[in-house]
Amino acid sequence: MSWRWIVDVFRRRRLDADLDSQLAYHLDALEAEGRARGMSPADARAAARRDMGGLTQIKDAYRDQLRLPAVETIWQDVRYAVRAMRRSVTFTVVVVSTLAIGIGANTTVFAVLDSVLLQPLAYPTADELVALKLSAPGAPGLADGLRLSPSMYRTFADRNRVFQSLGVWVATRGTVTDVGEPEEVRAIGVSDGLLRTFNVPPAAGRWFVTGDHLGARRPPPTPLRQYTTVMLSYGYWQRRFAGQLSVVGRTLMVDGLPKTIVGVMPKEFRVVDADTELIFPLAFDDSRFTLAGFNYQGVARLRPGVTIAQANADVASLIPVWMRSWSDGPGTTSRIYETWNIRPDLRPLKGEVIAGVTDVLWVVMATIGLVMLIACANITNLLLVRAEVRQKELAVRAALGAGRARIIRGLLVESVLLGLLGGALGAALAYAGVRVLLAIGPANLPRLNEISVDARTVGFAAMLSLVSSVMFGLIPAWKYTAPRIAATLGTLGRTTSVSRQRHRVRSALVVVQVAIALVLLVSAGLMIRTFQSIRHVDPGFTEAEHLQLLRMFFSQTAGTDPERVTRMQNAIQDQLASIPGVSSAAFGSAMPMEGFGPNLGVVNFGRIYTQDQQGLTADNGPVRLFKYASPGFFRTAGTRVISGREIAWTEVYDLRPVVVVSENLARELWGTPSAAVGKYIRHLPDMPWHEVIGVVQDVRENGVYEHTPATVYWPTMSASLNARPGQPNAIRGVTFVVRSERTNTPAFLNQLRQAVWSVNPSLPASPRTMREVYDRSLARTSFTLVMLAIAASMALFLGVVGIYGVISYVVSQRTREIGIRATLGAQQRELQRMFVRHGLVLAAVGVAIGLGAAAGLTRLMSTLLYGITPLDPMTYAVVPVILVIATLLASCLPARRAASVDPIEALRSE
């Protein structure tokens, strides 16, 4: 079709007039000829008219040529298709709803995948942002690289030549006491330069300015000065202040001190992937900087044109500068950091944000995509059967002069129409689906707030429906318009045995379905096995559902004196323990998996020194996890004491230098847990040696998946918390843990609050259970499991329906043959077996192909697995059995029907 056609459509009126005058001329010329041959004028005119033929027909033919032929006839096809669909409502409903579910599921997952993985982060020119990460291969024990210390931040910020700006941040918690009940909120401390790096303007008020980062002096050794201003997150602003603009300028009591609210950040703002309620300025005191204190995460904005490699090189050149510029104090050396081999490991910020979910989302997308393929295969099979039924109709159309292309197009129009209907419904389903997915999805999914169904999503649904409808439409269209239609006309009406070739297509489709279903079942099986192995892992605590947790922070207003704070904590512990139904209560710096990284000031990493047999000090290099545990902490949590005992209250109050260590640390340093008891450690040269009085089992601190860090449990009040010799301190951010069978009942929660407030009414008390913490740490795994299980059951169902359909069809096609066989003496059982065998052969081929495919594909999900390999023998043994049983059932039903065919009836029905 040339562009002239299109032009001509618009010039139609003029061309009509053109034709009129051409025809008029033609007529006149004919008439003139007649007269010239001697006819009378009237005869000549009549003869000319006759010769000319019907003017109207000529014009019609001419106009036909003028039209856009494809568009015009496609419209015919559409009307025809709609009629056909209305004639077979059941078929249409089945196909459209299968498609709607398939497309809806795919679009839903795509909406999430697109928003989370594909769209740029919600910062201006986000591709310039990098995560300022460091690796320290020489420092074993650091699972996730090395974070930045304040002195590093200062060195990098002042001396780099590659960044427009950079900043560091740290996530922590704070207690707000003057808005409603005391509440423990999430808070993020940001250094000067961080907000500028993100460059997201505030929704109200202003950013922090340099003055906000000055702050007031605090007692040593902390390098952080007391800040006096605070910004709110949008969510907190809406929840607590109903979005009032007047909130800017008012004061808020945070951790017992008044802070002035200077601004509110907009709704979509996140600090990397962290959501928060409060943002406060980090006020660094450079005079107290040491080399250590690796608690901060860095973000930088690259100068335009600077590559990550260049930035890495620049930061690498600054690390020796940093080591020369600062010191860990008199008598220390920076040589230890040389052995750490610290290297910059800058990464695009987006990669950091989505790191944990990239695999999950792609696996889920692939899975759902495979389900879509199975659905398409099923629909193809349905269309094949339907085309078979409509063969007569098609043959008649062909006989009436419809070209093969035209019939193919007609059939394609039908499937595209089905596809678009399904797509439209599917897009609507996706709107709901995204909500469901967000509800069952991992609560810690990054960029959760950015997920939406947008134009791209709808475009995806449209594309998917078109592609799939062409996919399932083309095969039947192609097969049933092959140029043997004329021949079929004659034989129609008799159910002749169907050609092998046609069976082949249908069988191939079923084999593909079984193969895909097997892949999905294997993936789901692997996830189930992963869950099983996780369940067998002893996390280091017992009966998580019977552990109620209460997180709180004891600010300076609660008491400046460490002993006072400790007595208050002790009192709360006793109050909690005296609640009816409570078997024991305790507290510690954090419970496992609570989601406080080692950077939160709650738990710390540090090196320890051990005393060897000669009484000498040995520096043991690797960093250890430092935690703080009250007396009874291990008994309450259910952490087994392997050797020795827990710390006692008298030891806490007497400041006796005692510690408990984890089993793996004991084995590493002293060989056996029992050998550890009685040994001594310390983590600073000027602190007293601490005696190891107990060894407890290893605890999965960072989630079941993660390795168990070597851990030192210090008393909650100890000199280990303070660099100044002889000056003990008390841990102030603590998690109380209460063991009771009454967890999460309203009455119990009320009693918990009363118990806390009876000691100090300004403490927050928002309880959760250890089970919630544990489940949350498994959110990614359980999400994958649920999604794969859904996909696999859909696949299994569709696969079974596919096999059932094919066998039923074969049976119906071979009724006559069955009749003959039965007449000739074939036993029912034999007939039945014949069809079951057919189904089993198909399944076997599908299983064989599927096993191969699964072996290749499941390797892609190895990062999601735990405790098993992607080639888990158990899964690979069980899944084919399930599929074969399902196939057996699916082919038994139609086979029984075949066997019970009455031979007389079968033969007569022809």
Partner 1 sequence: MPKEVLQGTLDLMVLRTLDVMGPQHGFGLAKRILQVSQGLLDLNQGTLYPALLRLEQRRWIKSRWGVSENNRKAKFFELTARGRKQIDEETRNWETTVALMAKFLAKTGDL
Task: Write the DSSP assignment of 485-532 as a string of letters.
Answer: HHHHHHHTTS-PPPPHHHHHHHHHHHHHHHHHHHHHHHHHHHHHHHHH
Alpha helical stretches, state H, 441-499: 455-480, 485-491
- Do residues 329 and 290 touch, judged by C-beta distance below 8 A? yes
Shortest reach from residue 520's CB to partner 1, in Å: 53
Shortest reach from residue 903's CB to partner 1, in Å: 44
Shortest reach from residue 28's CB to partner 1, in Å: 7
- Do residues 441 and 520 touch, judged by C-beta distance below 8 A? no
Other CB atoms within 10 A of residue 446 CB = 22
Shortest reach from residue 37's CB to partner 1, in Å: 13
- Do residues 734 and 552 touch, judged by C-beta distance below 8 A? yes
Which among 593, 599, 621, 597 is positioned nearest to 609, based on CA atoms? 621
Which among 379, 374, 304, 302 is positioned nearest to 344, based on CA atoms? 302
Query: Which phi and psi (to 5°) does residue 731 adopt?
Result: -70, 135
Burial of 122 (0-12, 13-18, 19+ CB in 10 A): middle
Residue closer to partner 1 by CB (options 11, 161) is 11
Residue closer to partner 1 by CB (options 1, 455) is 1
d(CA 76, CA 715): 84
Give the containing element (helix H, strand E) for 56.
Answer: helix 55-66
Residue closer to partner 1 by CB (options 31, 255) is 31
Q: Which residue in the block uniquely carries the two structure tokens 């359909």? A: 805
Residue closer to partner 1 by CB (options 50, 536) is 50
Residue 574 makes contact with partner 1 by CB under 8 A:
no
Shortest reach from residue 27's CB to partner 1, in Å: 9
Query: Which phi and psi (to 5°) does residue 382 adopt?
Result: -60, -45
d(CA 315, CA 318): 5
Residue closer to partner 1 by CB (options 21, 246) is 21
* Interface of this chain with partner 1, residues 9 to 38, rule: CB under 8 A: 15, 18-19, 21-23, 25-26, 28-30, 32
Residue closer to partner 1 by CB (options 16, 686) is 16
Shortest reach from residue 52's CB to partner 1, in Å: 6
Burial of 138 (0-12, 13-18, 19+ CB in 10 A): middle
Structure tokens at 501: 């070739």
Shortest reach from residue 16's CB to partner 1, in Å: 11
d(CA 523, CA 793): 11
* Angle made by CA atoms 478, 479, 481, in degrees to the nearest 5: 70
Supply the DSSP symbol for 162.
S
Residue closer to partner 1 by CB (options 30, 101) is 30
Site string for partner 1, 48-87 (x = CB under 8 A): ----xxx--xx-xxx-xxx---------------------
Structure tokens at 784: 């994958």
For residue 222, CA distances in Å to 170, 218, 228 come to: 15, 7, 16
Residue closer to partner 1 by CB (options 29, 436) is 29
How are beta strands 680-682 and 617-628 bridged, if at all? unpaired
Size of the site for partner 1 (CB under 8 A): 27
* Interface of this chain with partner 1, residues 358 to 417, rule: CB under 8 A: none
Residue closer to partner 1 by CB (options 39, 179) is 39
Shortest reach from residue 36's CB to partner 1, in Å: 11
Residue closer to partner 1 by CB (options 6, 432) is 6
Shortest reach from residue 35's CB to partner 1, in Å: 12
Residue closer to partner 1 by CB (options 59, 640) is 59
Residue closer to partner 1 by CB (options 2, 90) is 2
Which among 294, 471, 219 is positioned nearest to 369, based on CA atoms? 471
Shortest reach from residue 348's CB to partner 1, in Å: 54
Shortest reach from residue 454's CB to partner 1, in Å: 42
Shortest reach from residue 49's CB to partner 1, in Å: 11
Contacts of 768 (CB under 8 A, 6+ apart): 548, 549
Residue closer to partner 1 by CB (options 37, 161) is 37
Contacts of 823 (CB under 8 A, 6+ apart): 903, 907
Shortest reach from residue 395's CB to partner 1, in Å: 23
Contacts of 493 (CB under 8 A, 6+ apart): 392
Other CB atoms within 10 A of residue 892 CB = 16
Binding site for partner 1 (CB under 8 A): 2, 4-5, 8, 15, 18-19, 21-23, 25-26, 28-30, 32, 52-54, 57-58, 60-62, 64-66
